[in-house]
Amino acid sequence: MKNQGWSKRDFLRLSGVAGAALVLGLFDTAQADEATIVKAPAPGSENIELNTWISVAETGKVTLVCHRSEMGQGIYQAIPQIIAEELEVDLAEVDVRFAQGDSRKYGSQVTGGSSTIRGSYKKLLRLSAAAREMLVEAAARRWSVPAGECQAKAGSVVHEKTAKKARYGELIADASKLPVPASPTLKKRGDYKLIGQPLVRKDSALKTNGTAVFGLDKRLPGMLFAVVERNPRLRGKVKTFDDGKALQVPGVKKVFKIRMAVFNTYREGVAVVADSTWAAMEGRKALTVEWDDTGFEHLDTETIYGRMRDLLAKDEGLTAHNQGDPNPALAAATDKLDVVYETPYQAHSCMEPLNCVSHYQGDKVEIWGPIQAPEWVQDCLTKEFGIPREKIIINLTFLGGGFGRKAFMDYPHEATVISKEMGVPIQVVWTREDDTTQGPYRPGVTYRCEGAVANGGISALKVRLAGQNNGHWMGGPKNRANGSTMEGFLRPYLKKIAHARFSDVPFETPIPTMWWRSVYASTNGFAYESFLDELAHKAGKDPLEFRKAHLEDERCLRLLEQIAEMSGWKTRKPNEGYGVAVTSCFGSTVAQVVKVSQRPESGVKIDRVWAAIDCGWYVNPDTIRAQLEGSIVMALGAATAHEITFRDGMTVPKNFDVYRMPRITDIP
């Protein structure tokens, strides 16, 4: 880590004058001997730029950094909860700040793949324990007592024998001069006071009084608002546009064509810039645009799914996994099934529509927004504008939902293109209709599942999927099977199946697709576990016992036993609608039992859902519970309520009146 212009001596002197904070900079214990101050705050400044996760002011105020995006999943609480545990500070007393985008300091900040806690917790525990040991050592030296006799407690170091006590703020200057312990002593899980507790999230209070700042809430002096008319057919260029009426709308400042980057592709749109969001929207309504989308097919949903079915009827596809030889095994089998499952395209429908504030300033760009992947935005803007990465400053706001959509770079790029043209900060706002009709979507997928049962178990399994590959859309190789073909399928099943193959039948359309919460596990899990169920029935076995018989894995078995007990699986009555499934995604395995009943007036009703999760090492059990509750509701919506359909190349549903989200009355 580099010292960026302030020597420690300068800083200490300055800090004495200004009473400002001192940063204990630790990227990692391996690099931590370089721990130093990145930037001293201007006297009286409230915006102290922190270099890593922990800073301690001389007043004793501790500030912890959240280096990933908070989009509902609770890391704004979990990261400080981890740090505070080993640092020994009172969580109620610390401030939490979002990091700026800087992957050199924080490692990857791409918030996706359920990676934040499982990817960061060891590092966070180590650096927090190292900081605590340095503070203890500083106190021990000051008091000339053995460090082993001192204790860190609630933001202070105490030496009980001599009744001495010093606040971290009093020790931080000395502590920062000490060598950083290479292998600090970590607490045992049994000694944790914070980790494992269902503590109240620190963002709760901000989210109940309207003070949490989401991307859409960011304001800058001189900022103007922009909306963009994009091709309803998702791709292509602007042929011509007429802005005569748009420019007459009060508040509209300028209308112009823009070109937006989306991974390896570009598309064009017409930007309307105004002094309020409403004026920009009204100006856009008065626009007429003629589009050129030659080269892109205008598809209907029926055509798309028909093509997938046709492919699966004849094409073996690219093999993702093979064991044994399933084709002859299936041909020779007598008890077998050949089933097709379809899952629809889905929009992310974050409650906060896409938006971003950008201020292009010639030699640098500063961004504020709901962003899941700051370093990808930096990469994109560096490539598009030729501005060095370190001059692309990404400030994170709270995200009103993300679900993968906000890991895209298109909307920050749009905002920057428009800011460059206007010379002022711009907030680009997507309407709900933009958000629903422009994608990228969770790809619709068709599965063909073939399987045979013998002696009460699966003797052969052959699964093919045809659906758009998110990797292709990003520019990845097209001659390999989709790396996510088996996502959502529990690997331990394979131990008991002699012949098994999973293949991806390549399929493309002009429709942009992208990760959607859990990505392929949500669609694959549905198809694979549905098929497991059908095979169980074919074999004449109880679906839960059938799964247990195929899962030689202690954790999976424990989960299934747990869900059986919770749901009263064994004592369920004949003709009661109980279903079970177990799937795995990004390091967590979840088993669920759903009870449904037949209602003459409304078809099937979901009466109750039981869920058990094995997520490994965890921080806040209430957050895990909340995530399970919420993902069940979201999945019930995806399974029963909404579907993105296409007609003549355009998305049919545009807003929540027809793209129906689950509501409070829809939940069990």
Partner 1 sequence: MSTFTLSINRQPHTIEAPPTMPLLWAIRDLIGLKGTKYGCGMAQCGACTVHLNGTPGRSCSIPVSAAQGMEITTIEGVSEGNSHPVQMAWIQEQVPQCGYCQSGQIMAAVALLAGNPHPTDGDIDTAMNGHICRCGTYPRIRQAIKSAALMGPAKPKGK
Positions touching partner 1 (CB under 8 A) are: 70-74, 198, 200-201, 203-214, 216-217, 219, 225, 250-251, 276-279, 282, 349-353, 398-403, 429, 431-433, 622, 626-627, 629-634, 655-657, 661-665, 667
Token output for 433: 């209709």
Q: Which residue type, as a one-letter code, is found at position 277?
A: T
Q: Which is nearer to partner 1, 540 or 668 (CB)?
A: 668
346: phi then psi, degrees, rounded to nearest 5: -140, 140
Q: Which residue type, as a one-letter code, is found at position 568?
A: G
Q: Which is nearer to partner 1, 41 or 353 (CB)?
A: 353
Q: Which is nearer to partner 1, 208 or 334 (CB)?
A: 208
Q: Which is nearer to partner 1, 216 or 560 (CB)?
A: 216
Q: How many other β-carbons are positioned within 10 Å of the β-carbon of residue 183?
A: 9
Token output for 109: 């900040």
Q: How many other β-carbons are positioned within 10 Å of the β-carbon of residue 99?
A: 23
Token output for 662: 């689950």
Question: Alpha-carbon distance 560 to 593, whole Å?
Answer: 10
Chain CA centroid to CA 3, Å: 32
Q: Which is nearer to partner 1, 12 or 206 (CB)?
A: 206
Using DSSP, state whether 565 is helix, strand or coil: helix
Radius of gyration of the chain (CA): 28
Question: Alpha-carbon distance 477 to 475, whole Å?
Answer: 7
DSSP one-letter code for 398? B
Helix (H) or strand (E) holding 641: none
DSSP one-letter code for 362? S
Token output for 101: 């985008």
Q: Which is nearer to partner 1, 80 or 400 (CB)?
A: 400
Q: Which is nearer to partner 1, 98 or 225 (CB)?
A: 225
Kindly state the smallest distance separating residue 521's Cβ from partner 1, in Å.
17
Kindly state the smallest distance separating residue 206's Cβ from partner 1, in Å.
7
Q: Which is nearer to partner 1, 140 or 213 (CB)?
A: 213
Kindly state the smallest distance separating residue 620's Cβ from partner 1, in Å.
9
Query: Pick from 93, 176, 90: which is nearest to 131 by CA?
Result: 176
Helix (H) or strand (E) holding 59: none
Contact between 370 and 355 under an 8 Å Cβ cutoff? The reply is yes
Kindly state the smallest distance separating residue 425's Cβ from partner 1, in Å.
14
Kindly state the smallest distance separating residue 218's Cβ from partner 1, in Å.
9
Kindly state the smallest distance separating residue 537's Cβ from partner 1, in Å.
30
Kindly state the smallest distance separating residue 640's Cβ from partner 1, in Å.
13
Kindly state the smallest distance separating residue 106's Cβ from partner 1, in Å.
22
Q: Are strands 224-230 and 237-242 parallel, antiparallel or unpaired?
A: unpaired
DSSP one-letter code for 185? P
Kindly state the smallest distance separating residue 207's Cβ from partner 1, in Å.
3
Q: Which is nearer to partner 1, 202 or 462 (CB)?
A: 202
Token output for 557: 């078995």
